[in-house]
Structures are given as structure tokens and as C-alpha cells.
Amino acid sequence: GVEASTTAAWMERHRQMYERATRHPFTVSIRDGTIDLSAFKRWLSQDYLFVREFVAFVASVLLKCCKQEDSLDMEIILGGVASLSDELSWFKNEAVKWDVDLASVPPLKSNLEYHRFLGSLTEPEISYAVAVTTFWIIETVYQDSFGFCIEEGNKTPPELLGTCQRWGSAEFKQYCQSLHRIVDHSLANAPADAVKSAEEAFVRVLELEIGFWEMSSSQS
């Protein structure tokens, strides 16, 4: 339909970058079973720090959603906020399993860059359309990346299947599809300058996600 055309056009225009973010050598090596476990541990500890920052960003999306005239999306976004509590517990559990000490891990450069970006989008001047678009693409990169690791023909090591299921499950995919519908609806009613800013944020997320996988792959 007409509403879906904006994000569909971005996906076409930025297809290469989307592929680089969702079929990165890091996640492809999980699927191949060739993943370097020290790299996996680095990703785990860095992503824990990311999710802690992500909480404030998602809370800001919820707040913007609630201030909308028609806040039908509120329950979906609220579910997203609520699931982050379980996610932080999951990271702490995994860290114990992998013998990673989360308290002693400093955020690396690409992670800090991502934190700064999220912080800038948390500001009240940022429109709901831009914020919810950013939220959707952040979740979707993980859904697509980890979904691929549990698709037909994978050689994902059994000890990594739990991680892949967390973001690759049918349930998480449905949640991302709900966010996608919210984004399409929101962009259809947004002014042109907001749509432009949302596209810029979409591209920036893809760059930051690629940087995050690169950082996890090799210490730099």
C-alpha cells in the first residue's frame, strides 16, 4: 500500500548497507560455526553495555508515543520497554556461563559512538516518527542477523543457539513487524523534513550496527 512505500524505498536505496549490517562476517561466522569465542564474549559484554543505554532511548520513544494524539502504539512500545528488564537479566546469566565479568568491561569506541547517537535521539525535540523509526531499525538488524543464524542449513554451535533464539525467534520477528507497521503509519503522517531525518537516522543505525559487529570481531 501507499503507507509501506517509504520504508520499502529506503530498503531498496540502502540495500547494500542493510546487507552489510545483517549478513556481517561476525554473525555469518556464528551461522557457519566458525565464530571465535573470544569475539563472541566481547560482543556479549559490549552488548550488555549497549542495552543499558538502550533502556533510556526506548523509554524516550515510549514517552513520545504517549504524547501522540492517538497513542494506539503505546502497548507495543511498552512491551518493548518491559522486555528490556528480562534482557538485562539474560545478559547477566550468559556472562556467568561464559565467565565474563561485566563489571570490569569498559565500553569500546564504536559502542560509545552508538551511545552518543542514542543520547542525541532521546532529546525532546526529536519527533516521534524519527525516534520510532530508529527503534524499529535497531531491533530489525538484530532480528534479521540472528534469524539467519537459526534458518535452514545453519551450523550454529549449540551453546550459541539461545542467543540466536533471543532475537531470531518468531515472536521477536512479529514484534519487529508490529514496530514496522507503526513506523509506516507514523511516516505516512509525518512532514517531509521528519521523513528525511528518519531516513538519515535509518542509515546511521546501519553504519553503527556495522561498526558494532566490527568492534566485536576484533579489538581495535
- Residue from the set 61, 108, 132, 138 that interacts with ligand HMH by CB under 6 A: 138
Catalytic residues: 209
Letter string b/e over residues 65-96, b meaning 16 or more CB atoms within 10 A of that residue's CB = beeeeeeebeebbeebeeeeeebeebbeebbe
CB nearer to ligand HMH: give 146 or 190.
146
CB nearer to ligand HMH: give 190 or 217.
217
Cα–Cα dist 107/42, whole Å: 10
Chain residue at closest Cβ approach to ligand HMH? 142
Q: How far is the CB of 209 from ligand HMH (least distance, A)?
A: 6
CB nearer to ligand HMH: give 49 or 130.
49
Q: Are 39 and 26 in contact (CB under 8 A)?
A: yes
Among the listed ranges 9-17, 46-54, 118-126, 180-188, the one in contact with ligand HMH (CB under 6 A) is 46-54
Site size toward ligand HMH (CB under 6 A) is: 9
Cα–Cα dist 140/180, whole Å: 9
